[in-house]
Chains A and B, each alone.
Chain A
Amino acid sequence: MAASPAYGEEKGGSSSLGEPEYGHDPASGGIFASDYKRHDDLKEMLDSNKDSLKLEAMKRIVAMIARGKNASDLFPAVVKNVACKNIEVKKLVYVYLVRYAEEQQDLALLSISTFQRGLKDPNQLIRASALRVLSSIRVPIIVPIMMLAIKEAASDMSPYVRKTAAHAIPKLYSLDSDQKDQLIEVIEKLLADKTTLVAGSVVMAFEEVCPERIDLIHKNYRKLCNLLIDVEEWGQVVIINMLTRYARTQFLSPNQNESLLEESAEKAFYGSEEEDTKDAKAEAASLAKRKPYVMDPDHRLLLRNTKPLLQSRNAAVVMAVAQLYFHLAPKAEVGVIAKALVRLLRSHSEVQYVVLQNVATMSIKRRGMFEPYLKSFYIRSTDPTQIKILKLEVLTNLANETNISTILREFQTYIRSMDKDFVAATIQAIGRCATNIGKVRDTCLNGLVQLLSNRDELVVAESVVVIKKLLQMQPAQHSEIIKHMAKLTDNIQVPMARASILWLIGEYCEHVPKIAPDVLRKMAKSFTNEEDIVKLQVINLAAKLYLTNSKQSKLLTQYVLNLAKYDQNYDIRDRARFIRQLIVPTEKSGALNKYAKKLFLAQKPAPILESSFKDRDHFQLGSLSHLLNAKAVGYQELPDWPDEAPDPSVRNVEVPEWTKCTSREKRKDKVEKPFYSDSEGESGPTESADSEPESDSEESGSSSSSGTSSSSSEEEDEEEEEGGSEEQSEDKEGEEEEEEKRKKKKEKGGPRKASPRSVGSEEEEEAEGKKVKKAAGPQGKKGHAESSSEEASASESSSSGSDSGTEAPTVVEAKRRKVIPSSKAGPKEISLLDLDDFTPPPPQPVPSSSIISTSLVTDLEGLTLTDTSLAPALLSPAFGAVRTYELLHRMAGEGLSVEYCFSRRPFPGDPHMVAVQIQISNNTDAEVKSLRVSEPKLLAGMRIQEFPEIESLAPGDTASVVMGIDFCDSTQAANFQLCTHTRHFYVSIQPPVGELMAPVFMSENEFRKEQEHLARRGEGKLTGMSEITEKLTLPEKCRSDHAIVQQVTSAANVGRVPCGADNEYRFAAKTVTSGSLVLITLEWREGAAAQLTVNSEKMVIGTMLVKDIIQALAQ
């Protein structure tokens, strides 16, 4: 509301000046005078000062345009109203302008300045609409102005204006394709945009301007996948189609190993030859040798993130996802799309038409997918014919030995339909079923023969044609049918059917030796009245009979040939002449005559009846080209899978892992709002992406490989196959390394945070992440309120913060560059050591990275903003194998089983609480309602944050919730009741001591300092109060670095501290409630001997921890 007066005012000034000027323009008056007479009244109205008159005039003009009448002669009168105050008049002027600017280019230029002014308006909507109209005016002279406007708008702080800029790109491109390079730059920039509003539009621009520049997508691939669900529906379609093409160039076929098997299996299914099975065996053997296929996590990401869109209300989106799955998913997973496609069959008939076409193509390749929905393709008498025929096609494709009887029964109903085109199609379908499924061939043939006595000629004719094809397969057994058909020549008038019968009799005249000459006799009689195709077949029949039975048919043949000789059709005359030469021996005919029999009576292969949809899938499904079965203009070929996967690391975005981590944590308390959190994009969608735990490991895996070369990442993949545990720990190492990086960056980013608005989005997120982590209890507890306010601030900053957007990325980039080479340096050093044949260093980058980090950390110590070493920042925990404990056994819980584990993530509401993840499964066969925690019985000081009540849990379902418990740094159990709507269960959670702490990052120096500090304090009182030392022997399998690290971190939630010495391992943590430090040192001496030292103010915790760690290591 506030914006509109400003809009009007600004333009108002110019219009009042401009109006009189144009009104008296002699040029316009003179040149267009004659034209003006036609619309004199309109012109006067437009010139008047009253808005209502102008509006009336414009409405009439628009109505003229709508009816397709030419209103171009009013251009000068209209264009000057472009700056009119009245919004509706202005809008209609825009409509007019866009329509006629091309024809009146010079005059159109007069309006440009108005739009240029609009581009600078403080209101984003006015800027956008100015750009929209400006870019819609197809006047080549203004190309530079458009280019400039687009470039400016592309870095506008309003996402809506950026979206408009994306829309303007193809418009400019169609006006002047020379701008392509510059436009690609803009596209590249907009592709990096993180808002959902822009994503769809820019991909659309990409597809129109530079679909071949697939390389621009790499860096944005994961973001696009993650944003997808929140993009508006039209944008989703464009993005999904583009990503399908992208995935085909970047990933390996998930079916590469199966494809061979599949083919041979199908062959074996139909063919009876044994060779096929042999082939299959050989192939299977060769397959076994091949290396197993591992799907690229990015490939998986795409499949996972598109799947929910099958539930869209928009048929185009559903179809887009369906084609994506068809072209990209492993065979076993494609099935999910069937249900959604079948749903679309309830939609408008045009939608049905397109969907059925696609289903028809799919059902050939993947018959099993649609088999459960067979009945959904049954035909109603009220369906339009084109739909009926498509459904019939699908039914025929789905027919197999098991369902053929039901399908044939259904076909029987169809044959009696009043819609004759449909009946004809049904008969053809029966023919196809008969050829494909040997079992029912005779049944079908009998059925078709019965149809020969049908009253309707079309039905009979169609049956004849189909029977002819079927008989060709095994003619000998069916001379009865041939005889029967011979009789039909008296009645059937449809030329195609007559021709078919004649061909059949000619071909198999030996089976019907008595009838054939008689038929020829009849046909000779009516020869002159026959249609051309029938005549040709009569000649054919005559020739064949002459060769086999010349005694009876010689004269007849000559008679027919004579008739043909004088036929009006030259084809027939030619044929007659040709055949006469062939079969009637004369002196001139010579050698060919001998071979006449071979020529005419050769075995002819039976025709193969196959679907017209076969092999249509080489067109991308859902495309126009697929529908037309011809390449449409501008169709982008769907590439074949590559043999070797291109380097997957190109998609790694150099966003430090912690952004993901923090957002993941953030999601924990925002699960409710994934749909809305996306105004800024970065947070929401990333969340929806890695919500499943498996993705975590995938992502950390790929990110850890990002530093190293691609070849090493491949190695890793192989390792993944071989040894699960090894790989897992490696992942962890990677993550730890990542964490260190994070830490460093935090420290670096620290000072800049003084002016938060000037920082790029990533840092914003970091800030947010910190907010969550450090959020004090009272603020955090508000769950909903807090997250929504956070969103508000995010969207706010989006509009205000992006002013500096251009500068921010470079800052981040610079930071990244600093860090990345350093992490790369680690592995290199190792390889050098390797070459020098020194003591074989452990394969993990841990020691090396710690060297770097220590030095870096000391370097950066001056910059640290964190509250010095006394309050080291809490780290996101390293995830070991999470151990689950039982809270309620299935028997005790009467079917309700509850397990819990310590997720080791900070509890969102309260930093002093330990997060306990609870998994409740309902094994009863009734719904469990209102699951909640009640009546906690706790020791003094302990607190519980209950999980939100679960309203209902359906039988067989599992729910997972998080609750927080403040254990007060003791291992006392927390007792409470778990209530359902009917029962109460007493349960208790007792934490292992290792879960009462959270990892802490510190440098080696800090660690030493703290250790000394603790030891000294102990001296003051009693030695041994804060230090516990225990000797132990390491078992065989625990004598490697990562085994030790893994065992310790699984026993306690501690963070690793870098250490210079080779045989020493250090870990640090802080108790959750009181925040007192726990320092662990493990010295590995010769052989199996080792010494464990734990420093902690809390003696009880220290002693228990020592016990636990020793137990873990001894396992």
Chain B
Amino acid sequence: MCFQQKMIHSLFLINCSGDIFLEKHWKSVVSQSVCDYFFEAQEKAIDVENVPPVISTPHHYLISIYRDKIFFVSVIQTEVPPLFVIEFLHRVADTFQDYFGECSETAIKDNVVIVYELLEEMLDNGFPLATESNILKELIKPPTILRSVVNSITGSSNVGDTLPTGQLSNIPWRRAGVKYTNNEAYFDVIEEIDAIIDKSGSTVFAEIQGVIDSCIKLSGMPDLSLSFMNPRLLDDVSFHPCIRFKRWESERVLSFIPPDGNFRLISYRVSSQNLVAIPVYVKHLISFKENSSSGRFDVTIGPKQNMGKTVEGVVMTVHMPKAVLNMNLTATQGSYTFDPVTKVLAWDVGKITPQKLPNLKGIVNLQSGAPKPEENPSLNIQFKIQQLAISGLKVNRLDMYGEKYKPFKGVKYITKAGKFQVRT
């Protein structure tokens, strides 16, 4: 009873080969041996994705996430909402990404002091303290090549000598005294189509998920409001904390004082009543012959409702059955690779032109003697369509209050494939 310690106790960073390359304790030290339970679970799981995020050990609970080939394993002693920890760990990974440009083992090792300083600020006694990247950047400056050169010469430091006033303000996400010579506000409306297409080509499930990512470089304290031509399309929305919820509820206008720099303004789902236009179709013929060690593979991708826009960046990946030894294919467009170890076929198609549909055709070599694969593999498709929001969402206008200058504004629309899968 007396040693009730909650929330995150310790954090271990482990790479894929099982080395613990960083540890941080917020309370008393927990021995590395606690990670053995994690390794045990890792071994049991077939692949990294199947390591259970929550593991119970005799004295602790381990909650972990897997990001960019690193396991973030946190040690918990008492009851805590698991999502609380998971969400926090992802926030830590996001911060590393933000600071070092990548969240990799080398980046973390190279910047171990900054990592430590960050972790120190992000958690106090195992409870999240400052997780807003704007506040953190005031406290601890992100490394840049120039700065590290200067630092090594002058001996100055990465720790900001200003105090984190943002932590005290009621808009903690924005730092004070922002100044730009060019004031710009860019919004990327990115929509992803999640779909499952069945064998016959009919849509089993499809929906549109979207986000608006913003890059805002505006001086002072601008107060923005962004309105849509058709806000009713947005069915389920989640907001960055800067958005005034009431205003959205009553007027369907996004009104906010933005954080400085890049951030995700909203993510949304388009209401399910709207039929989703699927921009590509796939013709496929994959078959494995009984009692012979070969099979046929023939896939064609074509644009469906392209709305005058070209479908580009098309990539198809297929996890072939284990029995497949090799594939001998010819692509009319783009190039393909087949990895005999992971059995992953990847076909980088590029742009689709309706005049000449890209096709990938050839022979599949199977292990001789093995029974023919039971199931045809499903095809995962990626694509991109520029200048189009597939749901038809349109930004109406962006107004700025509170500052005198005229900002440069821009909106970009992109449609992408999300989890787009064709069953064969």
Contacts and interface: CB of A to CB of B under 8 A. Distances in A.
A354 B86 contact: yes
B419 A312 contact: no
Nearest to B269: A343
A634 B4 contact: yes
Interface string B203-234: 01101010000000000000000010001100
B255 interface: yes
B238 A343 contact: yes
B65 A350 contact: yes
A209 B157 CA distance: 39
Interface in A202-224: 204, 207-209
A157 interface: no
Contacts of B380: 382
Given A66-B22, A102-B28, A624-B82, A88 B159 contact: yes
Contact of B239 (A4, A87, A99, A312): A312
Contact of B246 (A88, A381, A691): A691
Contacts of B227: 951-952
A315 B170 contact: no
Interface string A608-650: 0000000000000011110110101111100000000000000
A91 B159 contact: yes
Contact of B78 (A3, A135, A158, A633): A633
B53 A679 contact: no
A204 B126 CA distance: 11
Given A3-B163, A91-B117, A351 B83 contact: yes
Interface in B325-348: none
A87 B140 CA distance: 11
Contacts of B116: 62, 65-66, 92, 95
Interface residues of A, number: 124
B79 interface: yes
Interface in B1-52: 1-6, 20-25, 27-29, 32, 46-47, 49-50, 52
B167 interface: yes
B238 A316 contact: no
A521 interface: no
A372 B238 CA distance: 20
Contacts of B207: 376
Contacts of B49: 349, 384-386
A135 B27 CA distance: 11
Interface in B149-206: 155, 157-159, 161-164, 167-172, 194, 196, 198, 204-205
Interface string A103-142: 0000000000000000000011110000010011010000
Contacts of A164: 124
Interface stretch (A181-189, A668-676, A804-812, A1012-1020): A668-676
A308 interface: yes
B218 to A, nearest CB: 17
A382 B194 CA distance: 13
Nearest to B65: A350
B245 A630 contact: no
Nearest to B194: A346
Contacts, number: 290
B79 A634 contact: yes
A173 B170 contact: no
A1046 B214 CA distance: 55
A348 B54 contact: no
Interface stretch (B127-135, B280-288, B352-360): B127-135
A170 B3 CA distance: 10
Contacts of A416: 374-375
B252 interface: yes
B157 A86 contact: yes
Interface of A is mostly: helix
Given A62-B116, A234-B128, A418-B322, A628 B56 contact: yes
Contacts of B53: 350, 353-354
Interface stretch (A51-59, A815-823, A997-1005): A51-59
Contacts of A636: 79
A976 interface: no
A679 B81 contact: no
A456 interface: yes
B84 A123 contact: no
B90 to A, nearest CB: 6
A14 interface: no
A406 B82 CA distance: 33
Interface string A446-475: 000000001110000000000000000000
Given A234-B128, A343-B269, A418-B321, A675 B244 contact: yes
B50 A623 contact: no
Contacts of A528: none
Contacts of B171: 676
Interface string B80-104: 1111101110100000000000000
B61 interface: yes
Interface of B is mostly: mixed
Contacts of B77: 633-634
Nearest to A410: B204
B274 to A, nearest CB: 14
A632 B79 contact: yes
B345 to A, nearest CB: 14
Contact of B163 (A86, A123, A372, A380): A123
A381 B167 contact: no
B319 interface: yes
A584 interface: no
A340 B1 CA distance: 36
Given A66-B22, A201-B127, A417-B375, A675 B245 contact: yes
B419 A380 contact: yes
A5 B128 CA distance: 29
A167 B167 CA distance: 15
A208 B84 contact: no
Contact of B170 (A204, A346, A671, A676): A676
Interface in A1-34: 1, 3-4
B81 A1 contact: no
A630 B56 contact: yes
B289 interface: no
B125 interface: yes
Given A63-B113, A68-B20, A174-B5, A312 B124 contact: no
A313 interface: yes
A413 interface: yes
Contacts of B237: 311
Interface in A665-702: 671-676, 678-679, 688, 691
B76 interface: yes
A171 B235 CA distance: 44
Contacts of A688: 246
Contacts of A874: none
A632 B61 contact: yes
Contact of A624 (B79, B128, B244, B375): B79
A125 B164 contact: yes
Residue picked from A66, A314, A623, A630, most chain B C-beta under 10 Å: A66
Contacts of B25: 99
B4 A1 contact: no
A416 B66 CA distance: 29
Contact of A348 (B4, B86, B131, B236): B86
Nearest to B72: A350
A135 to B, nearest CB: 8
Contacts of B392: none
Interface string A38-72: 00000000000011100100010011011110000
Given A385-B46, A671-B246, 9 more contacts: A88-B157, A89-B157, A102-B28, A381-B377, A413-B423, A623-B81, A624-B76, A627-B82, A951-B251
28 contacts: A51-B155, A63-B112, A86-B157, A95-B116, A125-B164, A158-B168, A164-B124, A167-B124, A174-B4, A208-B6, A234-B127, A319-B81, A320-B81, A343-B269, A350-B86, A354-B83, A378-B196, A380-B378, A382-B419, A384-B47, A385-B49, A418-B377, A455-B371, A634-B77, A635-B79, A674-B244, A951-B253, A954-B232
